[in-house]
């Protein structure tokens, strides 16, 4: 398993993150099998959010009920959760952040989060409230590191004006087929080409310049929950041909190659898996060890429909 340093910290993390948003319906043994398979494959980061499940903290509660960690085992993993999405609105108020973290800790049956992310941007955010909440959580030992999800560079800078702790992670949607943070830069300054439109204000370059780690969610989704591109020959025939070819060449599966396409980027992007199948975790872990050549990386890029000017 490829590992990466998390800038602005002394932490080293796996390039694969196991996302646990779909575990609520699994029984305890299935959750434990998924967790231990991930650990055996080298995964050290486990991703939650308060909204995952049929009710708030549903998936966190299932994880806490099923997985019992000794103090030594807890020290070897990074557990992160997210806060801010409520039914019909977003909420980064101090009170909501503090209450939600306490609820997450109780559900997960842990004393602290290694990382807390602010979920979708709250347009009514008061950075001073976020800063106060972060200070309280850090001082109490409840959260050790902080970050964001789906935030633009300017939104991060707004928070930085008040928040004293480093914002070390930004979790964003990224796959070979859904790659505007990469594709727009490749086609910069091309009038009339949709790909050249910058939809995130230079998020990728900003993250590299400021030492933020990007975490790629939905790494196998064609778009915004529009289905998986792997095996979809009706819409992505050429891409699947290249995935199959490179999978055979590198001794991994097409899912492994789709993972390798993300982990090959020098920005050290982590891949957040949403699977409940242990075999898929193993496939992605194997793919993280593959280093695609520039030619292979760009072949996948163009086979997915992106333009090289």
Q: Active-site positions? A: 52
Distance CA 275, CA 269 (A): 18
Distance CA 309, CA 304 (A): 15
Instruction: Using alpha carbons, select from 132, 124, 176, 146 the residue that is nearest to residue 297.
Output: 176
CB neighbourhood size of 265 (10 A): 16
At which residue do the structure tokens 């305890």 appear? 28
- HSE (side-chain half, CA atoms, 13 Å) at 20: 31
Give the strand pairing for 270-273 and 115-118: unpaired
CB-count burial class (<10 Å; 0-12, 13-18, 19+) for 129: middle
Beta bridge partners of 170: 148, 214
CB-count burial class (<10 Å; 0-12, 13-18, 19+) for 272: buried
Instruction: Using alpha carbons, select from 272, 219, 230 the residue that is nearest to residue 43.
Output: 272
Distance CA 226, CA 285 (A): 24
Biggest distance spanned by C-alpha atoms of the chain: 57
The length of the chain is 309
């Amino acid at each position: 398993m490829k590992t990466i340093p998390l800038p602005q910290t002394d932490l080293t993390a796996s390039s694969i993150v196991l996302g646990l948003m779909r575990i609520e319906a699994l029984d305890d043994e299935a959750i434990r099998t998924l967790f231990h398979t991930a650990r055996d494959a080298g995964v050290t980061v486990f991703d939650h959010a308060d909204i995952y499940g049929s009710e708030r903290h549903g998936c966190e509660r299932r994880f806490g009920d099923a997985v019992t960690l000794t103090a030594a085992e807890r020290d070897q993993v990074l557990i992160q959760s997210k806060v801010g999405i409520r039914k019909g609105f977003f909420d980064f108020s101090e009170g909501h952040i503090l209450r939600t973290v306490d609820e997450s800790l109780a559900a997960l049956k842990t004393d602290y989060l290694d990382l807390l992310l602010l979920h979708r941007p709250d347009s009514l955010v008061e950075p001073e409230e976020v800063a106060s909440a972060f200070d309280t959580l850090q001082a109490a030992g409840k959260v050790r590191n902080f970050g964001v999800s789906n935030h633009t560079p300017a939104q991060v800078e707004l928070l930085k004006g008040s928040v004293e702790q480093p914002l070390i992670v930004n979790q964003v949607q990224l796959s070979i087929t859904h790659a505007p943070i990469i594709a727009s830069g490749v086609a910069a300054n091309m009038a009339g080409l949709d790909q050249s439109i910058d939809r995130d204000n230079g998020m990728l370059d900003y993250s590299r310049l400021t030492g933020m780690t990007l975490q790629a969610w939905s790494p196998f989704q064609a778009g915004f929950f529009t289905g998986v591109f792997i095996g979809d020959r009706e819409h992505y025939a050429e891409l699947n041909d290249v995935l199959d070819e490179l999978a055979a060449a590198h001794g991994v599966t097409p899912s492994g190659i789709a993972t390798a396409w993300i982990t090959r980027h020098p920005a050290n992007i982590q891949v957040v898996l949403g699977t409940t199948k242990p075999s898929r975790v193993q496939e992605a872990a194997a793919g993280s060890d593959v280093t695609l050549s520039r030619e292979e990386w760009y072949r996948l890029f163009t086979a997915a429909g992106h333009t090289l000017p």
